[in-house]
Amino acid sequence: MSGFAVEMRDVVKTFQTPEGGFVNAVDHVDMQIKNGEFFSLLGSSGCGKTTSLRMMAGFEWPTQGEVYIEGEPQGHKPPFQRPVNTVFQSYALFQHMNVYQNVAFGLEMEKTPKNEIDKRVGKALEMVKLNGMEKRSPKQLSGGQQQRVALARALVKLPSVLLLDEPLGALDLKLRKEMQLELKSLQREVGITFVFVTHDQEEALTMSDRIAVMSHGKVMQVGAPVEIYERPNCKFVADFIGDSNFLEGEVRSCDGENTISFVPRLGMEIHGMSQSKFSPGDKIVISIRPEKMRLSEQPALSQNCLEVKVTNSAYIGSDTRLEVLAKDVKLKVWEQNHISTLDPRAYHQGEQKAWLSIFPDNALVLPAE
């Protein structure tokens, strides 16, 4: 028995393009998903995340490499012979059946005894908070309720792994946020491994134990949400997850994690931290999150402090989003609104001069791409 619920070993999936060429939708991917984990595949459309999920489900087969589920190679096993179930964005409910019949359908196909079906359907509907709605038809349900029926139908079969392909994509924002938290607590309750595909970074950060960020068929980084956000391993991940300012430069010196780089456009050295080993002269890019910079009336640090002009200011409630100009470099700075006030002087305004401070721990030095 492997320690992993799902494992992809050197998996390649090649498709023929309409022009007669070939493209690797999944390009030599190695991935290990632990038992009982909420694992998200995150990336923009065409990055290979859905193709990876479809190979786990058995809807596609690898061109090369192998998918293992609970330590067993899956080969060309069809979906119904795998210990997995899939929930789609479109719900795929049977419109002519009521809620109970939709959830019971898979068990009836397996000739499960009637009393066992009743018990399991009841439990599954209770899990997704739909008990009492057994007799309703799908069109009498809201989008969120229909999504829950699709979830109950997948959970009733007690799969080892639940595969979710953008299951919240069709919901409006408020309901989507509620369902994110519900799904996460449901996953904890049932203890089943969830593999979740999404292009929404905030959704992945909110729900996942670990995230694999994908681009052009490759896995760029795998890690816990805090690791992916605070310590991206490359510019692509830093840019894809959240917002970031990027400064290009070259390394002057590197001592352990402490790296000093010269940024030509600012005409100054920036002290930062890096996880990679750099040598003097290496081309780098510095990533700084907008919420991790500080504006003040006077210089606040002896280094990484530069005079800027505020060129744009947008109050959005929780924070004020500023655009500042340092020399000719535009930077985004987000200031949290700690104080409740209507006094316009409490917020930085356009055309104001200020000093911008960047703590070295918040200036992440990454390899130039």
- Within its chain, how far is the Cα of 84 from the centroid? 22
pLDDT given at position 2: 58
pLDDT given at position 57: 95
Q: What is the mean pLDDT of the chain?
A: 90
pTM: 0.88
Neighbours of 69 (CB within 10 A): 24
Q: How confident is the model at residue 164 (pLDDT cuts 50, 70, 90)?
A: very high
Could you give the C-alpha distances from 79 to 38, 58, 68, 196, 368, in angstroms and in order? Answer: 21, 5, 13, 17, 42
| pLDDT at residue 343 is higher than 80 | no
Neighbours of 221 (CB within 10 A): 21
Give pLDDT tens digits for 41-83.
Answer: 999 988 999 999 999 999 999 999 999 999 999 999 999 899 9
| pLDDT at residue 131 is higher than 80 | yes
Beta carbons of 13 and 55 less than 8 angstroms apart? yes
Q: Provide mean pLDDT across the span 27-36.
A: 96
pLDDT given at position 256: 85
Give pLDDT tens digits for 248-307.
Answer: 999 999 988 899 999 999 999 999 999 888 999 999 999 999 999 999 888 888 899 999
Return the percentage of the chain with pLDDT > 90, whole number: 63
The per-residue b/e assignment along 176-202, b for 16 or more CB within 10 angstroms, e otherwise, is beebbebbbebbeeeebbbbbbbbbbe
Give pLDDT tens digits for 176-230.
Answer: 888 888 889 889 988 899 999 999 999 999 999 999 999 999 999 999 999 999 9
pLDDT given at position 1: 46
Q: Provide mean pLDDT across the span 122-147.
A: 87
What is the SS3 string spanning 65-124? Answer: EEEEECCEECCCCCHHHCCEEEECCCCCCCCCCCHHHHHHHHHHHCCCCHHHHHHHHHHH
Q: Provide mean pLDDT across the span 13-29.
A: 93
| pLDDT at residue 317 is higher than 90 | no
Contacts of 121 (CB under 8 A, 6+ apart): 100, 103, 104, 107, 134, 152, 156
The DSSP code sequence of 215-239 is ETTEEEEEE-HHHHHHS-SSHHHHH
Distance CA(93)–CA(2), nearest Å, equals: 34
